[in-house]
Amino acid sequence: MQTEPPIAFVSRSHELPALELRINFGLFAGREATVAEIDELGQMILAAAPSVSVVSEKRREISHESEAALHQVRIELSTEDLPSEHEFLADLEQRLVSTAEHWARECIADRHTEVDEP
């Protein structure tokens, strides 16, 4: 008998990234990043790190008083992909931020959607 995988489930064990970089893409681009743009970012990051996880997410933050929608891109590196010496880690972080900013500005310049003000 074949069982179907669950649609929803609790996951209590999640390995957190050792380094996480967030890019407020939707705030500045007025749109979501495309799959091709995400792939390009991943390739750019590989110039500085041996492997990377890139997450493109739509977030809705909701409370009884307010509601916000945003599109964010996250770059995640695991502990084994980080240098052990602090000075090299600071250099890597700066290179990643610089690469991410360059990538975002290029994407925004190529295609930008005006954000509607409520």
Domain encompassing residue 50: 19-110
In a domain, 12, yes or no: no
Q: How far apart are CA 49 and CA 45, in angstroms?
A: 6
In a domain, 115, yes or no: no
Higher pLDDT, 33 or 86: 33
State the distance between the two ends of the chain, measured CA to CA, in whole angstroms.
53
Hey, what are 61's tokens?
């933050």
Looking at the structure of the chain, the number of domains it has is 1
Work out the pLDDT band at 31, boundaries 50, 70, 90.
Answer: very high
In a domain, 78, yes or no: yes
In a domain, 69, yes or no: yes
Nearest to 88 by CA among 44, 54, 49: 49
In a domain, 1, yes or no: no
CATH code for position 59: 3.30.70
The answer to whether 78 and 14 are in contact (CB under 8 A) is: no
Cα–Cα distance list, 24 to 4, 47, 59, 71, 106 (Å): 36, 22, 11, 7, 14
In a domain, 3, yes or no: no
In a domain, 41, yes or no: yes
Beta-carbon count within 10 A of 41 CB: 25
In a domain, 13, yes or no: no
Q: What is the pLDDT of residues 67-118, one digit of tens each?
A: 988 899 999 999 888 988 888 999 999 999 999 999 999 999 988 766 555 5
